[in-house]
Amino acid sequence: MRVEPCSWDEARARAAHFRRLLEPVRATPEEAVGSVLSAPLTAQTDIPAYDTALADGWAIAGPGPWRIREARKRDLFAGLEYHEATTHHLLLDGQAAPVTHGEALGSGVTGVLASTRCVVEGDLLKLAEGSRTTHSYIEPGTGVRPRGSDAGFGTKLLDAGERVTPAVAALSASAGHDSIDIFPMPSIGLVRIGEAVLDRGIPRSGLTRDAVSPALPGWIAGLHGRCQPARWVTTGDAELIDVIDDVISDVVITAGPESGAAVRRVLGGMRADILVDGVTCQPGGSMLLAQLQDGRPLIHCGDAPADALAALLTLLSPIIAALTGITDPAGRSRMHSSVFGDRTKSTLIPVQHVGERGQDVEIVRPGGPGGLFALARATALAVVPVGGARTNEPVTILPMP
């Protein structure tokens, strides 16, 4: 049954209806980068886990001047057992020992002095002349980053749904986690259809170079999906059905020159539900979204790079958000200047953020061949509504992956 083309907003809303969250898994912090937290991240220990020095210099105990004692790393940079054993006073009153920035401090340390504030005279450490402190008494805790000053044991550090960046991986490790609970990056199966394009060399004999295949994996990764190697279909509908059935992924994406009709025929034979069959927008008006019998979404994105990107940002981005529970990255910004629009369609235009705070967007010019010059410099696509947008009018913004 033929589905009538819908508006851009309606197409995106239908894509967001895939509310099947992926099964959470446990992964090491480094393996989890790029995924999404499926449970809040809490501190398994105090952060930092012990007192540390805020500067290179001297650990001191009590008022000065301080007698420099021979430093033993075991004494100075004590482990957890020394923090729990309060009977160990490793640095006695009136003593000092060298310490480096970020190093753990042993018991008995009352402060840390930066090396620039001190002078060494024989085996004595004294404050340098001109120091802000004119006497030898140093306020306890000076130069010390106390245990638990960032977060205490059990503190919630991040909510579920947060993206695991390299910094989040580092935070989880410092919080004592060997593994964390995540929604994995959705697996995207890519099916390329037809052989009327060249996969290498200079365009020739009326054939164009395949410009979509090099871009799709990177765009999909930028949308936080994990793209599988492309499968090529060249012999007809039966092969296409077999490949789609064969692909083990959370989402299937098809692309290829003049392949839309083949995809529609195949989906009819597979008894898939067509949710979106054409969108009143440009580029990307021929995009298609279907739900296969096993529940997976299938997106057909055409073969021009601009059409493919429009389909990914319109359909794949909200589907990935629905599968992982993250917030849809689409936002709102103001047009820096007026832009004309089509009388019947929304227009997806490459833009750059401008202004002191980057709150406005301006069209990237010139468009260039196939719009690739503009896409290469754009920071987002602006969804210009039917009829256009005036200066300072808010429009929907789709960040470039």
- Give the start-to-end residue ranges of the domains of the chain: 8-22+185-324, 26-46+151-183, 52-145, 331-399
Whether residue 123 is predicted with pLDDT greater than 70 in this model: the reply is: yes
Whether residue 148 is predicted with pLDDT greater than 90 in this model: the reply is: no
Whether residue 1 is predicted with pLDDT greater than 70 in this model: the reply is: no
Average pLDDT estimate for 181-198: 84
Q: What pLDDT score does 379 carry?
A: 92
Of the pLDDT bands very low, low, confident and very high (cuts 50, 70, 90), residue 314 is very high
Q: What share of the chain is helix, strand, coil (3-state, %, to 5)?
A: 20, 30, 50
222, amino acid identity: G
Q: What pLDDT score does 89 carry?
A: 42
Q: What pLDDT score does 10 carry?
A: 95
**Could you tell me which residue, 274 or 106, shows the higher pLDDT?**
274
Whether residue 297 is predicted with pLDDT greater than 80 in this model: the reply is: yes
Average pLDDT estimate for 246-259: 86
Query: Cα separation of 42 and 154, whole Å?
Result: 6
Query: Cα separation of 367 and 221, whole Å?
Result: 25
Query: Cα separation of 300 and 192, whole Å?
Result: 10
Percent of the chain past pLDDT 70, that is, above it, reads: 87
Of the pLDDT bands very low, low, confident and very high (cuts 50, 70, 90), residue 40 is very high
Neighbour tally for 226: CB within 10 Å: 16
- Is the bond leading into 401 cis (omega within 30 degrees of zero)? no
319, 328 Cβ separation under 8 angstroms: no
Looking at 171-256, which runs of residues are DSSP E strands?
A: 180-183, 187-193, 197-198, 208-209, 226-227, 231-233, 251-255
CATH topology for 8-22+185-324 is: Molybdenum Cofactor Biosythetic Enzyme; Chain A (3.40.980)
Query: Cα separation of 354 and 333, whole Å?
Result: 10
Q: What pLDDT score does 87 carry?
A: 34
Greatest alpha-carbon span in the chain: 93
3-state secondary structure of 226: strand
Looking at 73-211, which runs of residues are DSSP E strands?
A: 95-99, 111-114, 118-121, 124-127, 144-145, 156-158, 180-183, 187-193, 197-198, 208-209
Whether residue 86 is predicted with pLDDT greater than 60 in this model: the reply is: no
CATH topology for 26-46+151-183 is: Molybdopterin biosynthesis moea protein, domain 2 (3.90.105)
CA angle 365, 368, 370 (to 5 degrees): 125
Q: Which CATH class is domain 331-399?
A: mainly beta
Lowest mean pLDDT among 83-87, 118-122, 140-144, 247-251: 83-87
Strand pairing class (251-255; 281-282) = unpaired
User: CB under 8 Å to 75, separation ≥6 — which residues?
Assistant: 90, 91, 97, 106
Q: What pLDDT score does 130 carry?
A: 60
Query: Cα separation of 99 and 90, whole Å?
Result: 14
Produce one character per residue of 75-109: b if its CB has 16 or more CB atoms within 10 Å, e if not: bbbbeeebbeeeeeebbeeebbbbbeeebbbbbbb
**Could you tell me which residue, 215 or 289, shows the higher pLDDT?**
289
Whether residue 397 is predicted with pLDDT greater than 90 in this model: the reply is: yes
15's enclosing H/E stretch is helix 8-15
Lowest mean pLDDT among 86-95, 158-167, 234-243, 279-288: 86-95
Average pLDDT estimate for 229-257: 88
Q: What pLDDT score does 76 carry?
A: 45
Q: What pLDDT score does 154 carry?
A: 84
Neighbour tally for 245: CB within 10 Å: 13
Query: Cα separation of 34 and 21, whole Å?
Result: 16
Percent of the chain past pLDDT 90, that is, above it, reads: 32
Q: What is the pLDDT of residues 264-296, one digit of tens each?
A: 888 988 989 999 999 999 999 999 999 999 999
Query: Cα separation of 191 and 307, whole Å?
Result: 16
248, amino acid identity: I
Average pLDDT estimate for 98-120: 84
Q: Which CATH class is domain 52-145?
A: mainly beta
Of the pLDDT bands very low, low, confident and very high (cuts 50, 70, 90), residue 81 is very low
Q: What is the pLDDT of residues 345-390, one digit of tens each?
A: 999 999 998 877 778 889 888 766 567 888 889 999 999 999 888 9
Of the pLDDT bands very low, low, confident and very high (cuts 50, 70, 90), residue 206 is low
Q: What pLDDT score does 350 carry?
A: 92
3-state secondary structure of 357: coil
Whether residue 131 is predicted with pLDDT greater than 60 in this model: the reply is: no
The token pair that represents 383 in the structure block = 């969804």
* DSSP-derived secondary structure for 131-147: -S--SS---TTTTEE-T
User: What's the chain's average pLDDT?
Assistant: 84
Whether residue 2 is predicted with pLDDT greater than 80 in this model: the reply is: no
Q: What pLDDT score does 155 carry?
A: 87
Query: Which residue(s) pair with 47 in the sheet?
Result: 151
What one-character DSSP code corresponds to residue 369?
A: G
Q: What pLDDT score does 199 carry?
A: 65
**Could you tell me which residue, 161 or 179, shows the higher pLDDT?**
179
State residue 303 phi and psi, 5-degree precision.
Answer: -130, -15
Q: What pLDDT score does 254 carry?
A: 92
Q: What is the pLDDT of residues 3-32, one digit of tens each?
A: 788 999 999 999 988 767 788 999 999 999
Q: What pLDDT score does 34 carry?
A: 86
* DSSP-derived secondary structure for 259-313: -HHHHHHHHHHTTPEEEEE-BSEES-TT-EEEE-TTS-EEEE--SSHHHHHHHII
Q: What pLDDT score does 348 carry?
A: 93
243 half-sphere exposure, CB direction, 13 A CA radius? 23
